[in-house]
Amino acid sequence: MAERSIQELYRDDPERADAVAFGRRGALKGAALTAMGAALGAAIPFARHMPEGHLPALFARPASAQGSGGNAPPVLRFEGKADLILQGDRPLVAETPEHMLDEPITSYRHFFIRNNGQIPEQHTGDADSWRITVDGEVNSPLNLTLGELRSRFENVTMQLQMECGGNGRAHFAPQTRGNQWGNGAISNGQWTGVRLRDVLRAAGLKPGAAHTGHFGADPHLSGAADRAAISRGMRLAKAMDDDTLIVFQLNGQPIPHIHGAPARLLVPGWPGSLSQKWLTRIAVLDKPHTGAGMGGTSYRLPVTPIVPGSSNDGRSFTDMESMPVRSILSSHAHGSRLPAGTRELELRGAAWAGDLWVSSVHVSTDFGASWQRMEVAAPANRHAWQRWQGRIALPRDGYYEIWYRATDSEGRMQPHAAANWNPQGYGANPISRAAILVG
């Protein structure tokens, strides 16, 4: 079988391609093994462990790093940004390929972008003149300038992960609506700001205070003045968490405009949509907020699994809170080709688990037959991601898949396949696979 035809077959009809390649008994047979090897451009040293129905990672996901070939994703063109994957330009959404997340602290260059509406006009004049209102179930509503906020409350600086609620969505089958993120809707910036808790206490919480509602300055995509691009809210407990901040600096600099200048919320570990950019107002409420992005199937998960592909009004769903455990590989791009004779790799990556932490990261090079424990560093502070590293052996030249998975501090491991399918595609965190070719 020619190289192109099996690639095309896998793309167009993976089931038949598998039948051809694996045969009825699931063993990769002589001619088929050669064909698969030819398609992948290399022999498969661990072919005997390759599971039936396994679509090689090289075909299953675009090798963005290579930037070549027919299905290379479009690239973001944006001042100061690396070649991120352009997920959409209206609204502007861009994903960071995993190998660009190799810095312990994510630089502006590599910071993913997620907008739901238009990008607002830049605030003219002094950033410190920007105003933020706190009202609702409080004794004394506040209307503070950023300058007042900065000088009145303790300033804190910490590394905080921010992950889009839909990160990993592309792993769902059947496909759901929304940006088809791989694992790259994650950042770990070093943020400076004040604790939301301190601000809420200064306003004085009334006994009924139970939730927040967040408001920003970005216009709705339609331009309609009475519609919000996004306006989400959370339980008061998360608003009072030590690490929930109103921030005004990213990595020691004023926040770049696209990431919410001059001030935004930073709600680490929970869906990124709570981290309101271009923050203008926080309402304290006695019941859950009802803004854009609340209710129905938005940022909500089935309590009891539903039939994949079915429709649902989400009435029995529950709000997504702490994000599930996930890992990325940052030392080697998916689809990389290494020189012939490479027999060892030093792998690096990151892992995180919402409000929890990561207890271990494991890597397999033989399609999951055996797993090797990596070294996982402690987080710089609570809610920072954790870096991992480790060395693996590659017995021969050929096609490998690096499988990587993390386990959280409560013993939950990334699953083999995306679970708890839901119409808007939240919470997909299966074991990841990167294809590596040696020789």
The DSSP symbol for 413 reads: B
How far is residue 297's CA from residue 313's CA, in Å, rounded to a whole number? 6
Distance between CA atoms of residues 7 and 13, nearest Å: 10
- Residue closer to ligand MTE, measured from CB, 277 or 348: 277
For ligand MTE, which residue of 56, 62, 97, 117 counts as binding (CB under 6 A)? 117
Given Mo ion, ligand MTE, none, residue 176, with its beta carbon under 5 to 8 Å by kind, binds none
Q: Cα dist. 157→25, 98, 129, 235, 245 in Å?
A: 57, 25, 22, 24, 10
Binder to ligand MTE among 164, 234, 245, 333 (CB under 6 A)?
A: 164
Question: C-beta of 232: minimal distance to ligand MTE in Å?
Answer: 8
Judged by CB under 6 A, which of 28, 33, 146, 230 binds ligand MTE? Answer: 230
In this structure, the chain runs to a length of 439
**Residue 75 or 392 having the CB closest to ligand MTE:** 75
Q: Determine if 216 is a binding residue for ligand MTE (CB under 6 A).
A: yes
Interface with ligand MTE in residues 238-277 (CB under 6 A): 259-260, 272-273, 275-277
- How near is the Cβ of 164 to Mo ion at its closest, in Å? 3
- Residue 26 one-letter amino acid: G
- Selected from 114, 169, 300, 433, the binder of Mo ion by CB under 5 A is 114
Q: 97: which DSSP letter? A: -
CA dist 421 and 301 (Å) reads 8
Query: Distance between CA 290 and CA 169 in Å, rounded?
Result: 24
- Identify the residue among 216, 262, 272, 335 touching Mo ion (CB under 5 A): 272
Query: Closest distance between ligand MTE and the C-beta of residue 39, in Å?
Result: 36
* Closest approach of ligand MTE to the CB of residue 17, in Å: 35
Q: Least separation, in Å, of the C-beta of 186 and ligand MTE?
A: 9
**Residues 6 or more apart whose Cβ sits within 8 Å of residue 237:** none
Buried b / exposed e over 142-155, threshold 16 CB at 10 Å, is bebebeebbeebee
Q: Cα 142 to chain center, whole Å?
A: 34
Whole-number minimum distance, CB 250 to ligand MTE, in Å?
9
Q: Which residue from 96, 116, 298, 422 is in contact with ligand MTE, where contact means CB under 6 A?
A: 116
What is the number of other CB atoms lying within 10 angstroms of the CB of residue 373?
A: 11
**Nearest-angstrom CA–CA distance, 123 and 29:** 64
Chain residues binding ligand MTE by CB under 6 A are 111-117, 164, 187, 216, 218, 229-230, 259-260, 272-273, 275-278
Chain residues binding Mo ion by CB under 5 A are 114, 164, 272-273
